Amino acid sequence: MSEPWIHGPLRIRRETLAQIREHARRDYPSEACGFLLGPRAEPDLCDEARPEANEADKYHARDPETFPRTSREYFKINGLRAHRALEESAASGRPIKVVYHSHCDAADYFSAEDAATFASEGALLWPVAFVVLSVIDGQVRSQRLWVHRPGTNDFEERALTVVD
């Protein structure tokens, strides 16, 4: 897997942040999820949001034993569609830099489940950073940026700056 675009602070356009916050409000009480993209020439800038379907309920309905949690408790993006989107966006010069998702009635932490999904044996599995939004009672309270710590399965918070 290639290197992530975001290693440190992230600049996100105000309008783009407003779009993902609205997506999180709209999908509540399910977790919202999607991608943030930006120009290759500005690796720390995200200026486009692409919402994705949270397929957790579909997987839970098919096999509740293997997938015991619903979209209220976690998110699942279609892996094949994500792989194609990562490749196509990188080729277009506007790569996916961030996966965003919301937590319902919980804080904007990077959970153990999130870490297990996106890192293994010290390696990042998708070349992205992560924005987690906290949605309490249907209102977005906060959002934080999480970046993989190389050589571990851990993620650490980094600065997220809103720009016009």
User: pLDDT of 114-126, one tens digit each?
Assistant: 999 999 999 999 9
Residue 2 has pLDDT above 70, yes or no: no
- CATH of region 10-163: 3.40.140.10
Structure pTM? 0.94
User: pLDDT of 131-148, one tens digit each?
Assistant: 999 999 999 999 999 999
Q: Rounded to whole angstroms, how far apart are CA atoms 46 and 156? A: 19
Q: Rounded to whole angstroms, how far apart are CA atoms 65 and 30? A: 20
Backbone angles phi, psi at 46, to 5 degrees: -115, 125
Cβ neighbourhood burial of 112 (10 Å; 0-12, 13-18, 19+): exposed
Helix (H, G, I), strand (E, B) or coil at 152: coil
